[in-house]
Amino acid sequence: MPSPKANAIRAMKGREKIAALTVYDFAMAQMLDQLGVPLLLVGDSLGMVVLGYEDTTHVTMAEMEHHVRAAARAKPRALLAADLPFQSYETTTQAVQSAQRLIAAGAEAVKAEGGKDILPQVQAIVAAGIPFLGHLGMLPQHVREEGGYHIKGKTVPEREHLLQEAKTLEAAGAFAIVLELVTPPVAREISENISIPTIGIGSGKQCDGQILVTTDLWGTSPNYIPKHVKARLEIPEHMRSAVAEWKKSL
């Protein structure tokens, strides 16, 4: 099934930079949509910045559906994508069923982490008419095996692997690919060698677009803000002052 919104994102490549941000609820989706952000993602970063989990591997399908429903109630003009949570796309049947659950909750596209290793799942999702957003580079759902959030593309084999993975997702019908923590020269090379947009996070300025965890940008993420984000730290300060002033006024 053609998706005009996913096609519009794809068509932005080479014309204008794509701004993408994460949303976790109605208020965020409404605000960021009013600001004209064309791609909103209910990311499974939800687990870390809203639900208090250590990493994204604890997020369940029911939790994703709950937050997708809230974001979808804002009826954004933006394309609303959602992450398939950890272990929800182990087989083609499971991947399509999980993607359909997120679509039924109000998502208009789904994202999953990986390339060749999940190729049959990506092909099955696309064949089911669901727009697919790829995710390569550092894959947060693999953080436990990898022992941390490491930069990808530093060696020649890694560079070649990433380029191949991007071409695989492009051929499978992804409408765009998130590149997370990929070295900027490799992110640039990928962007120049595929026809669909790359959306970088911590991967340099040469991607076709950029995505951030919105609470990192606002400076309100609990515990940790990644190095690649210039957080607006005055925002949490204003929030604290508002509460302190209100308490004093009682």
Cβ contact 134:176 at 8 Å: yes
Note whether 9 binds ligand KIV by CB under 6 A.
no
- Distance CA(170)–CA(54), nearest Å, equals 32
Closest CB to ligand KIV among residues 44, 189: 44
Say which of 108, 180, 192, 237 is annotated catalytic: 180
Site string for ligand KIV, 171-190 (x = CB under 6 A): -------x------------
Please state at what angle helix 119-127 crosses helix 156-172, rounded to 10 degrees.
20
Residue 50 or 74: the one with the smaller Cβ distance to ligand KIV is 50
| Window of 36-44, 64-72, 98-106, 229-237 that interacts with ligand KIV by CB under 6 A | 36-44
180 catalytically annotated: yes
Looking only at residues 125 through 164 of this chain, which bind ligand KIV when binding is defined by CB under 6 A? none
Tell me the residue length of the chain: 250
**Residue of 33, 65, 83, 170 interacting with ligand KIV (CB under 6 A):** 83
Which single residue is written with the structure tokens 């995505």? 211
d(CA 46, CA 67): 9
Q: Which stretch binds ligand KIV (CB under 6 A): 11-19, 42-50, 84-92, 118-126?
A: 42-50
Extract the tokens encoding 101: 């659950």
Which of 9, 37, 44, 225 touches ligand KIV by CB under 6 A? 44
Q: How wide is the angle at C-alpha 43 spanned by C-alphas 40 and 44, nearest 5°?
A: 170
Bridge partner list, 134: 177
Q: Which of 208, 200, 213, 173 is nearest to 6 (CA)?
A: 173
By CB under 6 A, residue 109 contacts ligand KIV: no
* Residues of this chain that bind ligand KIV (CB under 6 A): 22, 41, 43-45, 83, 178, 201, 211, 213
